[in-house]
Structure formats: structure tokens, C-alpha cells
Structure 1
Amino acid sequence: MSFELNQEGEELLHKIRDFFERTNIENELLESNSEKFPWHIRQEAGKLNLIGLDVNKADGGMGVSALTMGYIYHECGKISVNTRELFGAGHGRLIAQYGSPEQKKKYLPPLLKGDLLVGVGLTEPDCGSDLAATETTAERVGSNYILRGIKQWVSRVEESGIFIVFAQTKPGSGVKGLTPFIVEMDNPNIEKFLIEPMGMKGWSYGGFKLHDVVIPVENRLGEEGEGFKIFNEHFTYWRVLMGIICLGAAQKAIEQAIEYAQNRFAFGGPIGRFQSVMHKISDHATLIEAARLLCFKALDLIDKGKPDVKESAMAKWLGTTVAYHAIDDAMQIHGARGYVREYGLEQRLRDVRGLMIADGTTDTLKSLIGRELLGKEIYNHMLGRVREPKSVNV
């Protein structure tokens, strides 16, 4: 099993590295007090068609493989986790994959140019991983839907021109009534609010209230009740990218730790000679490599038309967890220097910590893995949906 890039992929990765060097985005983010991602950098990426990387060529993109996107996101992580909206369509891929010809014609061109950002509205004040408990509703009235509810704990609130909002078209039916809608965020009946997060400050964070927001039927994404299917397919891909972008951040942190351990002298020699330092670096270099290969495997399965929820969940869970502990130990190796902004380690730690929650918490992902390994009956029992399973004598 090989996960090497082909020549086209290598050339694209070289182009990405050149882009980072030319725009000096790493230093710009490090020196920013707000940690906000500069919008003009995204527009520059759009001019080079780098936002359309994972959009089909027929829709104006480049149609690169999921595996190639994994390599690119790993490179992004070395710069900053906040570059996750720089290359590729992001959640705009929902429109590219599931949108009607009319929806694609309207929204994909500005998205690919870097003029439009797409957010996703899933989480609510009382609903996160349990999508069956979604309270936002979409009532069909003639040729329109009226959306009512609150989305909270979501990213890109201010920057996104549209949100893919998941709402109930059949209240009380659980995930069977979940339906996504394209909602234009300049609607006067949408009330936005901001929340200050610990990390991942490159994009605004908070939520919005939908006060009888009227949207046309044409803005429904897919058919009524297809939301859960669309969610699973999209996030099987997106979660792996989030895992591998964190591993890129960890890789950069360990590279910093190696350089520091080689050049920081204490007690008559470089601190890298101490096993307490050497073993930390060895442990994390090994774990990062293992987690990265798991991410590549999950992306390769997607390319082969065999997306696997279990592999995706494993990749994000292991990727984010390995990355967090690697960066934490890199900070420890740096001592007091690791605790200040100048070295960028504390920001990497805060950002990666956020992705242990966002897009599927570590605990939720472990439950998904357990469902695939132990079976849906036991998983449903965990959720209180079925009676006690029959015991089996062994």
C-alpha cells in the first residue's frame, strides 16, 4: 500500500509551498494580535484556482484527489491551523458535491475566486453531536421554507456569505427529518452574535438566530430528509483533513523542538543529550508518522470510492490527540520560551485543542468507532434506544 504523490501532486505541493513563502502568511499570523486570517490572502489563492482544488473540473475546480488534499492540509498545518479555509472548497464542497446545477452556477464561481466563504450550521445551544435532537425547523409554505431556530458554537460567523444550515423538516422524526439549506447571511431576519474562543481565532466564532427566515425551495440542498446522509459523507472527508492539519502543526512543533534541543546548552552540553528530551522527541516523531499514515489510508479509501466512517473517525481522533500531546511536549522542551507568543507553540496548542472538539469530539469519534466494531445494536443500547442485548454464553 503506497501513499506517495504522483508528479502532478508533487508539483501542486511545490506550488503551495511557494505560495506560503511569497505571501509570508506564517509571520503575518504570528505577529497579529488578533490572530485573524487575512482575507486578501484567500483572494490571492482564489486567483490561482487554489480554492477549487477539491472541486470537480466540470464545476470549475481542479479535481485533485483526497490524498493530495491530505498532503496539502498537512503543509497548511505547519503554517497554522487557521489556514484550513485557504485551499480547497471547505464546506463549500457541500454545494459542489450535492448542489443542483443552478446552485452551483450561482455560488461556486464566487467561492472559487475567494470572494465567498461557506459556513456550516449544525450545532445548537442544546444540540451538538446528537443531530437527532436538532431543534431548528424549516416549515414548507408554498414555494418557500421558513427557518426558525438558533445555531451556536459555529465558526466563520462574520466572514461567511452563506451558511449550509441543517434543520428539521419533520419535527420529532430525528435524523430522518434533517435537511440542509443554503442560507444567505445578509438576510435581515438573521441575528448574529460572537463568542470569544480560546484558540482557532483565525475566523470568527459564535452563532446566529433565525427569526422566521424565508428562503426559496430552490435553496434546499438535496431532498427533504437527506441531511444526515449528506452530513456523514461530507464529514467522513472533512474530519480526516482536520486530523492531518493538526499533525502538520505538530510536525512543525517537533521540528522546532529538535532544533532547540540541538542548540540549547545546559550543564555542559546540548539538552538533546538528555533522555528526558530525546525520548519525548522520539515518541512524538513516531506517533505523528503513524497517525499521518492512518490519515493517508482514510483519504486513499475515499479516492477508491470506499469512504469509511470508522477510518475517518480513527484518523481525526488519533491525529488531533497525537498532535496536542506533541505540541505540549515541544513547549515543555522549550521551557519558558515555549510559553510565550514569539515561538508560536502556545497558539498551535490552543488551535489544535479546539479541533479535539470541533467537527466531532474525541469521545463521539470513539463511539462511532465502537459502533462499527461492536455493531449498531450495542451502539443503540448505549444511546438508550433498545432493550438489553441478549447475553451469549462463551
Structure 2
Amino acid sequence: MSKTYRIILSGGGTGGHIYPAIAIANELKQRHPDAKFLFVGAKDRMEMEKVPQAGYDIEGLWISGIQRELTLKNLMFPFKLISSLLAAGKIIRQFKPDVVIGTGGFASGPLLQVASGKKIPSLIQEQNSFPGITNKLLSKKVQKICVAYDGLERFFPKEKIIKTGNPVRQSLLEINSKTEEAKAFFGLVSEKKTLLVLGGSLGSKRINELIEKELDFLQMRNVQVIWQCGKLYYDTYKIYNNTKNVQVHAYLNNMDFAYAAADIIISRAGAGSVSELCIVGKPVIFIPSPNVAEDHQTKNAMAIVKEQAAMLIQESDLDVDFENKFSQLIESKDKQIGLSENIKQLALVNATKDIVNEVEKLLNI
């Protein structure tokens, strides 16, 4: 009789940590239908909603990150950490996992710390070109580290690193065949160029301000816009919905259609987004968030830009550079084709399968 594997996955805080964990779980479930899964996240973060929607159980830890400024939240951090380590220990004792997988985010730290201390086989999946402090600390304790970029031996033990790429939604692997269906889905005008604006799963204040300011400029360029502004900002920007060839969305559930309909994409440079955009293969203008640890979004974007595979505009340069750079791109078919072909070369399409192969090695399958 075959063994029923018990697997814990931990990752959250943003979509960039949650969706890779769900993709890995789905691939494991496909290979091992009898396996038992448990996710561990941070209480009050979006994983507590998104993971159950994907069909998995989740437990929440009382944990958050350390703020850059001296705040009351920082004074609470030691208590939250002790509470989370104790809770993680209880979860592991009760669930008895055969393997633990961390994809980043606050909760993965305490969970993998406890798991590795109990000699449970553990793997972390580092999405960024510049890892956060949690994964740097955990790298000494886990057995394997799956990465998406070259050069991470600067931060991690070289012998543990496997370059796999980042897991992406399977629905994105073949979007070219969906273009007509996608344009009909969004009610787009076939003759117009379509700009897709993505500010990350929570939305981006600065990108939203830019698009609001540039709506007349985009209309003059005969560009229609699919604008994902984020649910925090939807009430502010919904007044532009169905005006000036603009559609405003709090969140896009049909990302394969959104990508398929787009001719040009403006995006943050979170690791998950960058990996998806390599597979999608459309011309991209990255606007990295400057408000993330170690400025890792700029580093993620630069890894693509240095291959002549995308354009980059820093937030501080948007007012000066945006119209000029966007005009260069929209007016040059050759530039669009060049960026598109170059970014496709960087795609690692088998990332999820390759990560799960490494998990199976830890399970001695």
C-alpha cells in the first residue's frame, strides 16, 4: 500500500508568495491524489482568504514583519515571534508533516525554523533576485533552495541551490490562442492597442496616480486601457470606468484573458509578476516599487532590462519620462517585437514541475 504523504506549505502576505505555494500544492496533488495538505499563513493577511478559495485548509499564525520605523508594532514583534514559534510547534506535532515547503512571507519563518529543528525535510522557494532576511536565515537550516535567478550563491549555500524559476498559473502557458476570446470578454475595440496596467495584488498608489494623470495622453494615442487598480483604490478610481476607453477593475480574476488581450503591459516588478511576464512574452514597462525590502523589485526588473527584454521607469522619473518612453514603444513595432522576443527567452516554463521533483526527492520518491 502506498504511503499517504502529509505536506505543509507556508507563504503569504502578498500574491507573490501565495500563488507559488498554491501552484506547488496543485502539482503535488495531481501526482499524489491521496496526499494531505495544510497551509500555514499569517492571521489577517490575504492568504487566509485566497488559500481556502483554492480548496486547501489553512492555519494562521500571529506574526508580522518588522517595520522600518520605530513603531509600537516593532515592540510587539518579539511576542508575536514567540507566539508563532509555539503555534508552529503545535501545528507540526499535530499534523506530522513528511515535508515542509516555504515560499516566503512572515509565517514561513517560524514554521520552517521549527520544522528544520525537528529534522523534517524542508525546502524554500526564493522568488526574488535579492532574498529577504527570513530566507537568508532559513537557508542554513533547510535541505534545498529553489531559485529563479542566477547569482544567489552570494546569499545561500551553493550546494543547496537549484535554479527552477518561479511557479506560475498554468492557464498562462498558452495565451496566444485566447486573444480573440479575451478581447471579446473585455469588450475591446480590435483596431485599438490595449494597455494592461498591473499594480500588484494590492494595487499601487503611484501607478494609479500616473494612469489617472495620463488618461488624456493615452486616449490621444488611441490606446484602450484595462486598469487593475487594486481593491484599496477601487472606490477612488471607479469613476473612470467606461470613460476614455478605460476599464477599471479592483482585481482581475481572468489573468490569462487580461494578458492575452494586452499589447503592452505596465507592471510592478514583484518576482511572481516578472516570471509570469516572461512566459506571457508581451512588451513590458516595469515601474518597481521602491517601498520593498532591499529594493528587490528594481533588482528583479534590472535582471530583465539588462537582457534588452523590458523597459524600466523608476517612480521618481515617471513625471519626466513616462510619455516619452511610452511613445517610443507604442510607435515602434520593431521595439515591441524585440522586447517580446527577448523576454520570452528568459521564461522558465517548467518551474512548478521542477520544484515538485525536488520535493519528491526529499520524500525519497
Q: TM-score range by the shorter chain?
A: under 0.3
TM-score normalised by structure 2 residue count: 0.28
Structure whose CA Rg is larger: 1
